[in-house]
């Protein structure tokens, strides 16, 4: 990159980080902290697009209604989406700290839904981190983003196809109430990402780190002192990450827009991620675990975050 290009890149970092700051400022809502999770389950069989469609047809009979965004939502706010290998992902509504009844009811609802899916569709879902035979399994989601991602991962020599179709994780969310909370929360989540309760298994880490280097590991934020510097840090990393379709760094795309960048930001696979839904900070490292083990870690996660409040 020549000097002029470097200047242009720094200008783009400044522009996008300022726009991201403004977007977040408008989205924040003061009040008590709320938490959430995304809990993925692995099918014991190899799924196909037809099996996913069969399951989608069955979900309304189980109390999950299709939403405009393609997700399925139940009366209690629990929602379901699918991952590219047919993994089932349950997402929670916002939960207040130490809401034992709320988290227990959601986990019971998940267990009952998995059992009903087994009885109705013959598909058994387990909370496990990895299946070793899924690299060449069919791609169950046919959206452009997933097709481009799969094509890149088929060509780059890494293990991205296993990540897409053969792994399952638990993502933990904490809502951002004010921008000045972002740096301490981000540092806490980075610390937890290497803690034995929340770190990836050795197998998932090996897959994750060889998925696509430009969009995975994010440098530490120890030297970052305020929210604007943190946002610039995140923007810089994302701009260097390659676009799935064009296969060049996002910053080098022609006719790029900030809206395109926000979509691109959702494809960053760092251990801790800014999620614009909410908005939240998201810890993405924990392996999928049986409900009792997940519940122990959920309680600890909430306790650790509450200490920073």
pLDDT in tens, the chain (309 residues): 444 456 599 999 999 999 999 999 999 988 899 999 999 999 999 999 999 999 999 999 999 999 999 999 999 999 999 999 999 999 999 999 999 999 999 999 999 999 999 999 999 999 999 999 999 999 999 999 999 999 999 998 899 999 999 999 999 999 999 999 999 999 999 999 999 999 999 999 999 988 888 888 766 676 788 999 999 999 999 999 999 999 999 999 998 999 999 999 998 889 999 999 999 999 999 999 999 999 999 999 999 999 986
CA angle 214-163-127, nearest 5°? Answer: 140
pLDDT at 3: 46
Question: Domains plus CATH for the chain?
Answer: 3-308 (3.30.590.20)
CA-nearest of 308, 307, 306 to 35 is 306
Burial class (CB within 10 angstroms; exposed 0-12, middle 13-18, buried 19+) of 60: exposed
Q: What is the pLDDT of residues 52-83, one digit of tens each?
A: 999 999 999 999 999 999 999 999 999 999 99
Q: Nearest 5 degrees, angle CA 124-CA 126-CA 62?
A: 55
According to the model, what pLDDT value does residue 212 have? 86
Q: 280: which residues sit within 8 A by CB, 6+ positions away?
A: 36, 173, 174, 175, 176
């Amino acid at each position: 990159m020549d000097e002029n290009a470097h200047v242009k890149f720094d200008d783009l970092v400044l522009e996008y980080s300022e726009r991201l700051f403004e977007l977040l400022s408008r989205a924040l809502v003061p009040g008590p902290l709320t938490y959430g999770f995304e809990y993925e389950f692995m099918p014991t069989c190899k799924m196909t697009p037809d099996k996913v469609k069969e399951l989608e047809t069955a979900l309304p009979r189980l109390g999950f209604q299709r939403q405009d965004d393609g997700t399925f939502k139940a009366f209690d706010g629990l929602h379901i989406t699918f991952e590219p290998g047919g993994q089932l992902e349950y997402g929670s509504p916002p939960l207040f700290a130490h809401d034992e009844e709320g988290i227990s009811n959601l986990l019971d609802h998940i267990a009952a839904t998995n059992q009903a899916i087994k009885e109705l569709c013959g598909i058994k879902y387990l909370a496990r981190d990895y299946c070793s035979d899924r690299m060449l399994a069919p791609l169950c989601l046919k959206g452009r983003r997933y097709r481009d991602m799969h094509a890149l991962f088929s060509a780059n020599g890494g293990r991205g196809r296993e990540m897409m179709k053969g792994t399952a994780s638990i993502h933990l969310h904490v809502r951002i109430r004010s921008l000045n909370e972002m740096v301490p929360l981000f540092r806490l989540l980075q610390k937890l990402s290497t803690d034995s309760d929340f770190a990836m298994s050795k197998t998932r880490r090996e897959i994750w780190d060889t998925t696509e280097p430009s969009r995975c590991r994010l440098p530490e934020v120890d030297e970052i002192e305020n929210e604007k510097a943190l946002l610039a840090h995140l923007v810089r990393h994302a701009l260097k990450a390659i676009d799935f379709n064009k296969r060049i760094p996002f910053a080098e795309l022609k006719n790029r827009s900030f809206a395109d960048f926000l979509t691109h930001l959702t494809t960053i696979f760092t251990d801790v991620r800014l999620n614009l839904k909410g908005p939240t900070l998201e810890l993405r490292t924990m392996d999928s675990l049986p409900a009792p083990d997940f519940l122990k870690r959920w309680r600890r996660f909430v306790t650790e975050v509450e200490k920073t409040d």
